[in-house]
A and B are shown apart, each in its own frame.
Chain A
Amino acid sequence: MLAAQAEGRKSFEIEAETLGEALHALPVADLLFNERGELNRHLNVYVDGTDARERGGLEGPLAAAREIRIVAMVSGG
């Protein structure tokens, strides 16, 4: 569904220092954050397979990270 909002694209190549910078560079950034810049709570983000919260969150440096995955964690199922 997120890809549908990005004209069908499922992946983007982005150079960024931090996770937050990378996510804000996406054309669907408005669907990831609220107006306070907080990540929507039903999203899980993994950096090279590690939960982003264990890597310093949005401020965490990406360093040599190669892959960021955004996963919708729909609650209530």
Chain B
Amino acid sequence: MLWGDDDRRRWQAEGPLLEGWGVYHATVDPRDGTLHAAANHVVYGPTVQRSTDTGKTWTRSKQIGLPAESGLTLNATWHIEPGRREDPETLYLGADPGVLFRSDDGGETWEANRGILEHPTREGWFPGAGGMCCHSIQLDPRDRQRMYVGITAAGVFRSDDGGETWIPVNHNVAADFLADPYSEVGQCPHKLLLHPARDRLWQQNHFGVYLSDDHGDSWVRLDGNGLPGGFGFPIMLDPNDPDKAFVIPERGPEYHYSPGGRLTVYRTRDGGDSWEPMADGLPEQAWAAVLREASAYDEESLYFGTQSGSFFALTDGDRWVEAVRHLPPILSVEVAAWSG
């Protein structure tokens, strides 16, 4: 747990919490302040842990499993998304192998979503280097029935009926490792975000950065407009400006580090028509990698952590501050406001 002051220049590290667990994603439920963690361990397997006292004590979910008839077993828990305010006990969990769970009791028990589990295109899905993970879950705040998931390497799927059925929405999205690079499924989204104020989806994909203004029915590729490349994992948004987005490119699929040895965040302010580097305060020389869950944004700033254990926050004047260093690999960054 990293605690920062109001200007985000001074930070204190506390912990480690959940010692020994690989926390692929942790998030604070804005509805009640509960901290949820997708926790995995090579010996003890995948689970979800939750804390109602800012991480001092934790409770494990009851065993999360897939139905026997699926022939699948749970490999890892990846992403926890709190549900809508009108469903205060509902949470969603994305997991490997390309599955989505829902909890209606605050994370105590989880049930697999049949529409994703039994999706007719599942034979065309395959795992990426990190497994076949469902890592992105986005609920449309304007339509109670609409939600999206991103699965590697299956693609982006949309439900218009509250999660009963799902349609692939990968039109125009490249999957250059497939025989048909524009097939219906098999794409590799690395992170999918829905802008909170406008029907605009942003996607950092294995092959490019994309935007969709029609609920994923079509996508526009944006990384030819000033980015050093199309490969990367995280993406950040500005909740007050749907034309802004931020990505952290890596050299390429086989080279997971900063291009040119210069860790740089790239910003667009015009919906991806152009990108500009934001490197002030970042190391002059760094071959860094930032994982898909290792960035966050709020009304005021941006935050990310590297696999080499450095945590950066953006301060006034578009200057990055290396707030904490020498941590283990940073798998997940989320930001929450707590008054102390």
Contact = CB atoms under 8 A, between A and B. Distances in A.
Contacts of B63: 30, 33, 35
Nearest to A34: B73
Tell me the dominant secondary structure on chain B's binding face.
loop
A63 interface: no
B42 A75 contact: yes
A36 interface: yes
Contact of B43 (A30, A35, A36, A43): A43
Nearest to B18: A4
B66 interface: yes
A35 B46 CA distance: 11
B117 interface: no
A40 B63 CA distance: 13
Q: Which of A2, A30, A32 has the most CB of B within 10 A?
A: A30
B45 interface: yes
Interface in A1-52: 1-2, 4-5, 30-36, 40, 42-43
A40 B66 CA distance: 16
Contacts of B306: none
B279 to A, nearest CB: 35
Given A40-B43, A40-B44, A43-B43, A1 B20 contact: yes
Given A5-B60, A74-B42, A34 B74 contact: yes
Contacts of B45: 31, 34, 40
A65 interface: no
B337 interface: no
Contact of A35 (B41, B42, B60, B73): B73
Contacts of B68: 35-36
A35 B20 contact: no
B257 to A, nearest CB: 22
A31 B46 CA distance: 8
Nearest to A41: B43
Q: How large is the interface on A (under 10, 10 to 19, 20 to 34, 35 or more residues)?
A: 10 to 19
A30 B60 contact: yes
Contacts of A34: 45, 65, 73-74
Contacts, number: 46
Interface SS, A side: loop
Given A35-B73, A35-B74, A36-B73, A42 B42 contact: yes
A1 B42 contact: no
Nearest to A27: B60
B258 interface: no
Interface string B35-51: 00000011111010000
A54 B59 CA distance: 35
Contacts of B60: 5, 30-31
Task: Give the residue among B19, B43, B64, B65 with the most A Cβ atoms within 10 A.
Answer: B43
A72 B43 contact: yes
A30 B47 contact: yes
Contact of B19 (A1, A40, A76): A1
B62 interface: yes
A31 B62 CA distance: 10
Contacts of B65: 34-35
Contacts of A5: 44, 60
Nearest to B66: A35
Given A2-B44, A42-B43, A74-B43, A30 B20 contact: no
In the A-B complex, list the 9 residue pairs whose CB atoms are closest, starting with the nearest.
A35-B65, A30-B63, A31-B44, A42-B43, A72-B43, A1-B20, A34-B73, A40-B45, A42-B42
Interface of A: 1-2, 4-5, 30-36, 40, 42-43, 72-76
13 contacts: A1-B19, A5-B44, A30-B63, A31-B41, A31-B47, A32-B44, A34-B74, A35-B63, A35-B68, A35-B73, A40-B45, A72-B43, A74-B43
Given A1-B41, A35-B73, 5 more contacts: A1-B20, A31-B47, A36-B68, A72-B44, A75-B42
